[in-house]
A and B are shown apart, each in its own frame.
Chain A
Amino acid sequence: MLLDGLCLLFPRAKKGSWFHFVSLPAVGRDVEKELCMLRSLKWKFVLYAAISLFAILLLLPTLTSELPQWWTKIFPSEKIHLGLDLQGGMHLILEVESEKAVESYVERIKNNLKDDLKDRGIPAGKVEREKKDQIILEVSGEKGKWEKLLSERYSIMQELSSSEIGGGIWRIGLVLDSKQADHIKKNAIDQALETIRNRIDQFGVSEPEITLQGTDRILIQLPGIKDPHRAINLIGRTALLEFKLVDEEGDIEAALKGNIPEGDIILYQRSVDPKTGGVKKIPYLLKEKTLMTGEVLKDARVSLDSQFHEPYVALEFDDIGAKLFEQITGANVKKRLAIILDNNVYSAPVIQERIAGGRAQITGRFDTKEAGDLAIVLRAGALPAPVKIIEERTVGPSLGQDSIQKGMISTLISAVLVVFFMIFYYRVSGIIADVALILNIVLTLATLAIFRATLTLPGIAGLVLSVGMAVDANILIHERIKEELRWGKTPRAAIDQGYHRAFVTIIDSNLTTLIAGVLLYQFGTGPVRGFAVTVCIGILANIFTAVYITRWIFDFITLKLGVKRLSI
């Protein structure tokens, strides 16, 4: 029993190390060895058959989708995961412009500072943001007063410079603490990831993959998506909802000519004529200060206008938002409140009365789909910073299908050709080689399935390479056995020697390629990895099938069946 096990595990390494046999001369056949081999044959059969059966079991879910229910309960039901290039779908890489999050954070600080200076009666000239993380302010009056304000409430900003520019006016430069800035950036990225995940979840895509890549990139894979533009719109939109007052006193004509009143901005309402497709832009002169943002939203849903049957998005604020909205509307009756999304004015209705209850609506010329998507992005929340799409790859379902079909046809033709060639050239031994080749492919695919690795087009190239190497391994062994036979060895000795010698070569060439494959996987990206995975798995399967499985068959027919002449 123990001997069996040893024979099985170390068929040749009776003396010394793993590499030892490489330098050993031909081992003579002795009775003890023969016995050992015969016994281990049985054990090897059990092991090899179990592995092969298991591999076939793993592959079944990929080959057919009509497995009975009890089956999927007992056995793994993982299918081979096809890459988007084969399956169709959309692959996106977004870059989060996290610097913008820092910028808007500093912008908010600046606005607060402006208010605080006013509240405390500190005379201030300009208070402006410079670059992305600096604030320049000019103040006068009692020095202690503003120094106290800055150190008490704005310790997050570090003083860069401070100098008197004359007339009792001090110019102070502040910069955001760099650790804080990093923290904001990281937060922005995490939050963007979360928000996008939410949006895609609500959009309803099966098996989406959303992961962080590197420090500031988000990789999104959406298999089988039908309307890529809609998805991009949904994912890439910042969805910053803002409420701002219209400056009723300001002169819009003068502002458009460049004479914008202090503290105002111009934003546009874009309306698309559904008939001509022309875009009309209506300018609005707005107070720059944002009264409220989408942060206080509790819910957003699509509703239908009872009068015109046009869809609109109904907003519901949370408690804080409701109170705030009540205050804002109460204080600005008869003024216009603009609802702005990503710097586009959607509407600017006149506030008729104080609005309690925390409800508002966004109207515009939406169709139901647009309104639905808008509701999704509002519910999922705004992105803390804009995202930029730096890579998009969309493969339509028909193209993926085409690729698979053509790949299948050419694979089948070449498989049949190789199989027949091996039989034609090596006769019965060719059949042994064919068994190994087919098992190799089965094992490789089964391993892909169980490890949930993705099969891509470059992956198929890797498969071609590993099958090529499997053919080579079989040819190496067969040619070597033939050579040994030619030198007058008996079939047993020829098989022994042939495997002996060919094994070294096969190990060397396969290990070299395996090393290259592992390094490619480790240091490569996307497609390079897809290639490396199938190569590595294929090579491991190859060593097993080409060397061990075929050896067992040869041993079986010569030892057990007593075949005295090899058909090779």
Chain B
Amino acid sequence: MELIRPDTRFDFVGKRKITIWISAAVILISLGSIFLRGGLRYGVDFAGGILLQIKFSKTVDISEVRNALEAIGSKDAMVQRFGGENEFLIRVKKTSGDLEEMSKTIQTSLQGQFKDKSLEIRRAEVVGPKVGKDLKRKALWAVGLSFLGILIYVAFRFHEFAYGFGGIVALFHDIIVTYGAISIFNLEYSLSLLAVILTIIGFSINDTIVIFDRVRENIKKMRKEDLETIFNVSINETLGRTILTSGTVMTVVLILFFFGGAVIHDFTTALIVGLITGTYSTVYVASPVVLFWERNVSRTKKRNR
């Protein structure tokens, strides 16, 4: 079976004058949304506070839960429907006082007030503010260092700083856009969304390297052509693979989105955005960056003229 005909010749990188504006606009919207909303909506994991997931065996209205919480004076508590029929999430964003004691008070008094509805506490999280800060800092370090590792490896394997740089720029693009999506969809930034970011880094760099590899191969074959043509040929030659891989992975993620349950709903939403931007960025961010660098910055210009 052939998905893409062998003689396909789309002018991908030629469109970069247009796509650079698309990328810029998307990044602006992403940063703008994050900025306007005053940063990401950090979950209990990072911000500190209390999170309770409760489930009743009988029908309970959300207002009943709210009233019950107000009755014990938890005014900062936010209640939200979650997943199944009578399941709720309660969040208290508070960073001072005895959180543990407060969590206990809320739990016992809810259990008292909904005695006949057989309340089940499915999840209880209490995170002190210090812990959240530590987590944030350590995660940032880990991601930063892995970027550095990627940059060094790619620059080494391609004998050219430009490729490593292009890959990293594409990674930044993808991460900013994904964070933008997290902000626009008002998802709560928690540990599982951090895992999404890590996954997207993996997919994005993988996608970029596949095409760079083909470029490296074609540079040797097509000595007379300029780099732009070589990029175009390479992207076209690997187009079948790009569509197949991205399509397969996207299908899997969509299945997770529809059947995976509420717990991973935010997770899959962010992943879908990340996959799209990860595939896009290889063609329209990483490749143009390399082209730009090789033309304007690198000393090996002569070969490409």
Seen from chain A, the residues whose Cβ lies within 8 Å of a Cβ on chain B are 93, 95, 228-229, 232, 236, 388-396, 398-399, 402-403, 406-407, 409-410, 413-414, 417-418, 421, 424-426, 457-458, 461-462, 464-465, 467-469, 471-472, 475-476, 479, 482-483, 486, 501, 504-505, 508-513, 515-520, 522-528, 531-532, 535
Taking CB atoms, residues of chain B closer than 8 Å to A414 are: 251-252, 255-256
Could you tell me if A417 and B252 are in contact, using CB atoms closer than 8 angstroms? yes
Q: Mark B228-250, 1 if CB is under 8 A from A, else 0.
A: 00000000011011001100110
Asked if B259 and A406 make an inter-chain contact with CB atoms under 8 angstroms apart, the answer reads yes
Chain B positions within 8 Å of A476 at CB level:
210, 241
Assuming A527-B194, A531-B195, is B260 touching A469 (CB within 8 A)?
A: no
Query: How far, in Å, is A187 (CB) from chain B's closest CB?
Result: 23
Contact A410 B256 (CB under 8 A): yes
B149 at the interface (CB under 8 A from A): yes
In the complex, the 10 A-B pairs of residues with the closest C-beta atoms, listed nearest first = A390-B128, A406-B261, A524-B142, A516-B146, A458-B195, A392-B126, A523-B142, A414-B252, A399-B122, A519-B146
Could you give 21 example pairs across A and B, Cβ below 8 Å?
A93-B131, A393-B127, A395-B122, A396-B121, A410-B259, A425-B3, A457-B192, A468-B245, A468-B249, A471-B248, A475-B244, A479-B240, A479-B241, A510-B206, A512-B206, A515-B150, A516-B150, A516-B202, A520-B198, A525-B138, A531-B199
Partner of B130, one of A390, A413, A418, A508: A390
User: Contacts A464-B252, A515-B149, A528-B139 known; A409 to B259 CB distance under 8 Å?
Assistant: yes
Q: Interface centre among B55, B241, B251, by most A CB within 10 Å?
A: B241
Interface, chain B (partner A; CB < 8 A): 1-3, 6, 53, 55, 100, 103-104, 107-108, 120-128, 130-131, 134-135, 138-139, 141-143, 145-150, 153-154, 157, 191-192, 194-196, 198-199, 201-203, 205-206, 209-210, 213-214, 217, 237-238, 240-241, 244-245, 248-249, 251-253, 255-256, 259-261, 263-264, 267
- What is the chain B residue whose CB lies nearest that of A229? B104
Whether B142 pairs with A512 at a CB distance below 8 angstroms is no
Cα distance, A418 to B245, chains bound together (Å): 11
What's the dominant secondary structure at chain B's contact region?
helix
Q: Which residue of A lies closest to B255 (CB)?
A: A414
Task: Name the residue on A nearest B237 (C-beta).
Answer: A483
Contacts of A407 in B (CB 8 A): 260, 264
Cα A409 to Cα B256 in complex, Å, equals: 9
Question: Would you call B195 and A398 a contact (CB within 8 A)?
Answer: no
A471 touches B255 (CB 8 A): no
Asked if residues B100 and A389 are in contact (CB atoms below 8 Å), the reply is: yes
Residues of B within 8 A of A527 (CB): 191-192, 194-195
Given contacts A509-B209, A509-B210, whether A520 and B142 have CB atoms under 8 Å apart is yes
Are A513 and B205 in contact, CB atoms less than 8 angstroms apart?
Answer: yes
Shortest Cβ distance from residue B19 to the other chain A in the assembled complex, whole angstroms: 23
Partner pick for A512 among B124, B126, B154, B259, CB 8 A cutoff? B154
Residue in B121, B127, B245 whose CB lies within 8 Å of A472: B245
- Check B157 against A508 for contact (C-beta < 8 Å): yes
Additional A-B contact list (5), CB under 8 Å, known A393-B127, A398-B122 = A417-B252, A475-B244, A508-B157, A517-B202, A526-B191
